[in-house]
């Protein structure tokens, strides 16, 4: 129950920090960082959230905040051109939608990456790789966004709380992906260990 309350409070704090628009990526990234700390028994309160957010005034955070609305504006213009009935509009609509969905997916996964706290380019590169390698997680991210949008549309106050739930789930997907890599590496090491021991025994003889 405490975790549920923490997620709601962080979601509300994120919605407030989101309002200037330019702070949106830093707001989401900070929420994910706070909830990652909660998984390690760290405090996940609105006070801690705003304390961490106050440190996010570097140029990279503001640049990321400018890129996000610029991309949304460009996508809206593309949709308007498609809706205007220009020649080839239907053919263009499919790749435009795919590009927009992939860009949104990479942006959201970048906010969930730990690297986004200090290095946005590294977070975007890692998120692009995750989006391709982890198709299941990418599908869950898009599904969570659609679900949050539908819930907010049906009940407007949920728009201020859904961000906390999404950040908590994205933390789980990111941590799960890292654990999967570690398990695969451990499996490779377990397979190679008997071979290495046998080779040492033969060299000893």
Distance (Å, whole) CA 24 – CA 116: 13
Distance (Å, whole) CA 167 – CA 133: 20
Q: What pLDDT, in 10s, does the model give residues 84-132?
A: 777 777 777 788 888 888 988 899 899 889 898 889 999 999 999 998 8
Residue 139 has pLDDT above 80, yes or no: yes
Q: What pLDDT, in 10s, does the model give residues 71-80?
A: 888 888 877 8
Distance (Å, whole) CA 8 – CA 49: 12
What pTM, to 2 d.p., does this model score? Answer: 0.68
pLDDT of residue 87: 74
């Amino acid at each position: 129950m405490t975790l549920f309350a923490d997620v709601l409070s962080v979601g509300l704090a994120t919605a407030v920090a989101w309002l200037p628009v330019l702070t949106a990526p830093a707001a989401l990234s900070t929420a994910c960082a706070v909830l990652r700390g909660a998984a390690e028994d760290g405090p996940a309160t609105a006070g801690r959230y705003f304390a961490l957010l106050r440190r996010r005034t570097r140029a990279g955070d503001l640049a990321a905040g400018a890129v996000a609305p610029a991309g949304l504006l460009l996508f809206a213009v593309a949709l308007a051109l498609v809706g205007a009935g220009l020649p080839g509009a239907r053919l263009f609509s499919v790749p435009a939608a795919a590009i927009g969905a992939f860009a949104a997916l990479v942006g959201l996964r970048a906010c969930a990456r730990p690297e986004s706290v200090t290095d946005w380019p590294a977070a975007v590169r890692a998120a692009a790789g995750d989006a391709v390698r982890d198709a299941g997680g990418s599908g869950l991210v898009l599904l969570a966004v659609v679900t949050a949008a539908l819930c907010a549309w049906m009940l407007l106050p949920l728009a201020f709380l859904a961000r906390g739930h999404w950040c908590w789930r994205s933390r789980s997907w990111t941590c799960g992906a890292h654990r999967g890599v570690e398990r695969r590496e451990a499996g490779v090491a377990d397979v190679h260990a008997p071979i290495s021991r046998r080779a040492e025994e033969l060299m000893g003889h």
